[in-house]
Amino acid sequence: MSRELYTSDGKRKYLTSEERDLFLKEANQHERGEVQTLCLVMAYTGCRISEALALTADKIDLSNKTIIFRTLKQRDRIVFRAIPVPDSTLYALDLVHRIRKAQKGKLSGSKTLLWSWKRCQATKHICGMMQQAGISGAHASPKGLRHAFGVKASADTRNPRLVQKWLGHRSIETTAIYMDAVGDEERELASRMW
């Protein structure tokens, strides 16, 4: 796997499948709905934390079962991407943030931010959830969730263009860091040589 998924001292920057599952289990049990939905959106979309905090109710497409993000890293262009999410995440978003009601309002939810937090507070929530799940290290962060999504999407789909689209990368070379065999798949491939 490419060195971009490791720190300069060789520590992993992404959550493993097991750690991601622990994170999601904790998130689903959290008492505050807003924290729960932020964690679910971050884990199931691989969005950047700034992209999540910019979400408005009108960008939750309940009929198409996607969340639409404006890709913030391409500031010189306006680029949107739609990412499919589980029904349970859409249900939680609607329940906690009253998506349907906001979309029926005067501005169709275009001014209704899902979370009113700043980046620092949202990061504290994500890192706190990591701590509750027993996850620590360089990968216990919002960026660790994004990398985990990239690794999982690459391993499960083996479709670099789709992963590029979902992550909002301008260049396929950026996405390529996730395309190497990883985790269990890498071990299974290596075992063929044993």
Q: pLDDT of the chain along its 194 residues, tens only?
A: 344 888 888 888 899 989 999 999 999 999 999 999 999 999 999 999 999 999 999 999 999 999 999 988 766 788 999 999 999 999 999 999 999 999 998 888 788 899 999 999 999 999 999 999 999 999 999 999 999 999 999 888 889 999 999 999 988 988 888 876 566 667 776 787 78
Query: String of b and e for 133-146 (b: at least 16 CB within 10 Å)?
Result: bebeeebbbbbbbb
pLDDT digits (tens, 9 = 90+) for 166-188: 999 988 988 888 876 566 667 77
DSSP letters spanning 30-85: -S-HHHHHHHHHHHHH---HHHHHT-BGGGEETTTTEEEEE-TT-TTS--EEEEE-
For the entire predicted model, the pTM comes to 0.89
**Residue spans of alpha helices (H) in 46-191:** 49-53, 87-97, 99-104, 119-132, 142-157, 160-167, 172-175, 183-191
At a CB cut-off of 8 Å and minimum separation 6, what does 166 contact?
Answer: 45, 46, 81, 83, 149, 153
Place of tokens 């301008």: 170
Tokens describing residue 190 = 């290596």
